[in-house]
């Protein structure tokens, strides 16, 4: 099944930065889960959401590497998560539910 792509006229384009997208957004009180949020585009996502006031839960296989990656970003918690292991996903979800009552992003 192919779906025709159509522009959404958001005002953003291929040169728009994450900083430009988040301007004027207040995410205070919002909770976001970012898998792989400690490196690459995930780290940028974590940084931007935090800068707007969100609390971020980063799921990662390597806790040491993940904590090091997000160490300079406020409002971030790192939980162990291996998406290839169903038991790990269940453990992550259980731990998340113990700490948070909702997920916004």
Say if 64 falls within a structural domain: yes
The pLDDT tens digits of the residues spanning 69-78 come to 999 999 999 9
C-alpha separations of 42 from 10, 25, 45, 96, 98 in Å: 22, 19, 5, 19, 24
CB-based contacts of 76: which residues, under 8 Å, 6+ apart?
A: 37, 46, 50, 55, 56, 57, 58, 70
Domain that holds residue 91: 28-99
CATH number at residue 40: 3.40.50.720
Number of domain units in the chain: 1
The pLDDT tens digits of the residues spanning 27-58 come to 999 999 999 999 999 999 999 999 999 999 99
Residues of the chain with pLDDT > 70, as a percent, come to: 100
């Amino acid at each position: 099944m192919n779906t025709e792509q159509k522009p959404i006229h958001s005002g953003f384009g291929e040169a728009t930065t994450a900083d430009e997208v988040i301007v004027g957004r207040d995410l205070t009180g919002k909770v976001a889960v970012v898998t792989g949020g400690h490196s690459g585009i995930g780290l940028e996502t974590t940084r931007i959401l935090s800068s707007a006031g969100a609390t971020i839960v980063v799921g990662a296989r390597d806790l040491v590497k993940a904590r090091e990656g997000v160490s300079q970003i406020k409002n971030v918690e790192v939980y162990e998560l291996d998406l290839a292991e169903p038991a790990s996903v269940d453990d992550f979800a259980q731990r998340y539910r113990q700490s948070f009552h909702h997920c916004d992003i």
